[in-house]
Amino acid sequence: MAYRFTVNPITCINCGICMDLCPARCLDMTRPSGEGELGDATQRLSPIPTDASQRSWMMLAPVQVSVCVGCQVCAQECPTNAITIESGASTVAYAARGPISHLPAGDGWQTLDAYTRATPAEPGETPWGPTIAEAASGSPIPDHAWHVAERQAPWQSWRTWLGERKEDLRAPCQAACPVGTNAGLYVSLIAEGRYDEALRVASEPNPFPVICGRVCTAPCEAVCRRGEFDAPIAIRDLKRFAADQADPAAPPRRLSRPERQYTERVAIVGAGPTGLSAAYYLARRGYRVTVFDAMPVAGGMMVIGIPAYRLPRNELTRDIDAIRDLGVEIRLNTAIGRDVELDDLREEFDAVLLAVGAQRSQRLNIPGEQLHGVIPATTFLKAYNLTPDAPDATISGIVAVVGGGSTAMDAARSALRAGAAEVHLLYRRTRAEAPAQPEEVAAALAEGVRFHELVAPIALAGVDGKLKHILCQRMRLGAPDAQGRRAPEPIPEETFTLDVATLLVAAGEAPDPSFLPEGSRVEVAAWGGLLIDPETLATGAPGVFAAGDCSYGPKTIIEAAAHGRLAARAIHAYLRDATLHSVAELPADEFQTPSTLPQGEAIYLDLRPTPRATMLFVAPANDAHPDRRTEYALGFTEAQARGEASRCLRCDLAYLCPTLKLRTAEIATATNAPSPDVANHATNAKGEPVHVTARPD
């Protein structure tokens, strides 16, 4: 696959900005051949060609002449929104370079390169000198290096040129990360062998860098531009590698307590990822924080729901201990509504955050669900992870698991380790549609879990109150639903019976608001979640906020971390009697290492197809199921990690005006004529053929 540059010839004004800013130097301007002629004074004043485009010295339109890396710089900076970068192209026809046209020596039109003070070949300089705003102030020196501005609406053209840039355009991996981790920077540091620095960068916006290196769903990888050429970078596995190289006894980041300490105290109910993230950021802002949790250990579903063979407990505690070191107090075995009341917390603390998660298992609502042996998957996982030697953490016989998410995969794999003879996974959609990560599904299959796709249980039967059989309905995919997902529908008279001893239900989780006192002003939605203001996260009770799964339903650890950060910001604004928009997203001393261009050097990228590094796993010995405490994934070797990190395209630097030196394979079809996209505008107004000039570098 490849990226294809296309331009709308109607809205393009032929200014050449895209050509001058392209870091990969893959664009040029079509231009007629010939000596050209001099335009009159009126024509020379206009930056937008009209009939003057008929003259032989006029630039006509931009074309693609070599490999595009998909950085979107041209599309973001195009003043008329005329450019589209198309991904997934099987072939790209490059416009051929023809005879070089000689431009007039006098006052005729020139390429933009003739007027620029610097070009992208000189990394870090502002290509067009001072911005308009700086020039108006009389400053001869730019107050910042050229960065591409993020355009959040089509009308926001020329923001970089006007000096209105307030945020840089970010790499797709960083933009996709809910907490904004600069993956490109820490991946590049791993490629250079600078592992401690890489872990510090990964830790800067994320309270759980060690945890996420093992169990993050990695939304960054889904948008990685390297995937357009072969396969996405293994960003999550590289983060784990950086954490594995560090001293396990040392915290992933070195943090000092903030200089300014506030007198207000904040209570957080729930020591899961949302609550701990909020505690981290509130402590970083100078507040005294106390976290209450009903469990005997901190971590919430990270410790209750995720088995140790996926997330070793010593790795989990590294991140949690770093939060404790900030002065956060965590009170365990303290349940709200049982050991402490919400009204008491409101009296004792200046603000309260409810981050109780979503741990109530959804029911199947089919006959026989009350039989002994039908167990919520979260109940089994809690026993398996917290009390592995207890009777309810041991399973025998044939086990079925209903669901296709991470909880279902963890329950199925844990059941094998807990003694099940066989484990059958029942999912009403296809394996490809399972919400679990592909590597989780692959691991379950490798360990012997039997995956039944397009199958749904419709009734349970038992003997003497104990589960014995599951009546299963075969399904097929019907018409797409409102989200475009094909809805499963039953196939008439296509059923079968599965003999089982235990059924683990992993059909989803919901919040349990039963802890709220009668008459509470904290309102509950019809689906069981707590009603909040979507911007401030405030509930109907003054000083009480809610965040995480209890407010929006089950999501991921990294999304919970982001919502916890937002909650800390909202509580800070509330306690300081300020508006949310007036409060910075991160604490004042929260340092973010910026990506910087190499000193006076170009960036070299190898675009030749290169296989993605493969994680090694523990293989069961003699067909025995793995030990429940042995970590399944072994991690990258140093050679694997540095090789994998070297595949990165450094999208984090594309917006700083670098010069990219590309090493490519033949992934595009070169032709001796312009591509079909170019052919429509590769003639002048008189119908005369045009050629592509060699651009000056």
Q: What is the DSSP letter of 613?
A: P
- CB atoms < 10 A from the CB of 277, how many? 30
Q: Decide if 482 contacts 329 (C-beta within 8 A).
A: no
Tell whether 233 is covered by a domain.
Answer: yes
Q: What is the pLDDT of residue 686?
A: 32
Do 539 and 619 fall within a single domain? no
- H-assigned helices in 192-245: 195-203, 209-215, 219-222, 235-245
- Residue 473 DSSP SS3: strand
Tell whether 42 is covered by a domain.
Answer: no
Domain boundary among 614, 629, 652: 652
Q: What is the pLDDT of residue 162?
A: 45
Do 295 and 352 fall within a single domain? yes
Q: What is the pLDDT of residue 150?
A: 59
Q: What is the pLDDT of residue 135?
A: 47
Tell whether 657 is covered by a domain.
Answer: no
Tell whether 675 is covered by a domain.
Answer: no
Tell whether 72 is covered by a domain.
Answer: no
DSSP calls for 67-93 = ------HHHHH-TT--EEEEEEES--E
Do 408 and 497 fall within a single domain? yes
Q: What is the pLDDT of residue 681?
A: 32
Do 303 and 344 fall within a single domain? yes
What is the C-alpha to C-alpha distance for residues 345 and 62, in angstroms, rounded to an integer? 64
Q: What is the pLDDT of residue 149?
A: 57
Q: What is the pLDDT of residue 147?
A: 55
Do 341 and 369 fall within a single domain? no
Length of the chain: 697
Q: What is the pLDDT of residue 247?
A: 74
What is the C-alpha to C-alpha distance for residues 633 and 237, in angstroms, rounded to an integer? 10
What is the C-alpha to C-alpha distance for residues 272 and 349, in angstroms, rounded to an integer? 20
- CB atoms < 10 A from the CB of 555, how many? 17
User: Which two tokens mark 38?
Assistant: 């001099």
Tell whether 15 is covered by a domain.
Answer: no
User: Which two tokens mark 399?
Assistant: 């086990």
Chain segment 398-446, per-residue pLDDT in tens: 999 999 999 999 999 999 999 999 999 999 999 999 999 999 999 999 9
In Å, how far from its chain's centre is CA 597? 24
Do 303 and 334 fall within a single domain? yes
Do 374 and 502 fall within a single domain? yes
What is the C-alpha to C-alpha distance for residues 572 and 298, in angstroms, rounded to an integer? 24
Chain segment 365-376, per-residue pLDDT in tens: 999 999 999 999
Q: What is the pLDDT of residue 132?
A: 42
Q: Is 549 exposed, middle or buried (0-12, 13-18, 19+ CB in 10 A)?
A: buried
Residue segments in the chain with a per-residue pLDDT below the cut of 70:
31-60, 96-168, 249-256, 589-590, 600-601, 619-626, 666-697
pTM of the model: 0.83
User: Which two tokens mark 480?
Assistant: 């797409």
Please count the structural domains in the chain: 3
The boundaries of the domain holding residue 202 are 172-253+597-652
CATH of the domain at 184: 1.10.1060
User: Which two tokens mark 1?
Assistant: 């696959």
Look-up: residue for tokens 């950085």?
A: 71
Do 502 and 545 fall within a single domain? no
Q: What is the pLDDT of residue 544?
A: 97
Q: What is the pLDDT of residue 129?
A: 46
Tell whether 663 is covered by a domain.
Answer: no
Do 236 and 281 fall within a single domain? no
Report the b/e string of 154-174 with b at 16+ CB within 10 A. eeebebbbebebeebbbbbbb
Tell whether 428 is covered by a domain.
Answer: yes
CATH of the domain at 533: 3.50.50.60
What is the C-alpha to C-alpha distance for residues 552 and 529, in angstroms, rounded to an integer? 7
Do 375 and 499 fall within a single domain? yes
Chain segment 159-178, per-residue pLDDT in tens: 554 444 455 578 999 999 99
Do 488 and 602 fall within a single domain? no
- Residue 184 DSSP SS3: helix
Residue 301 zone, left/alpha/beta (φ > 0; ψ -120 to 50; rest): alpha
Domain boundary among 508, 531, 556: 508
Domain boundary among 493, 508, 523: 508
Do 415 and 449 fall within a single domain? yes
Q: Decide if 668 contacts 2 (C-beta within 8 A).
A: yes
Q: What is the DSSP letter of 389?
A: T
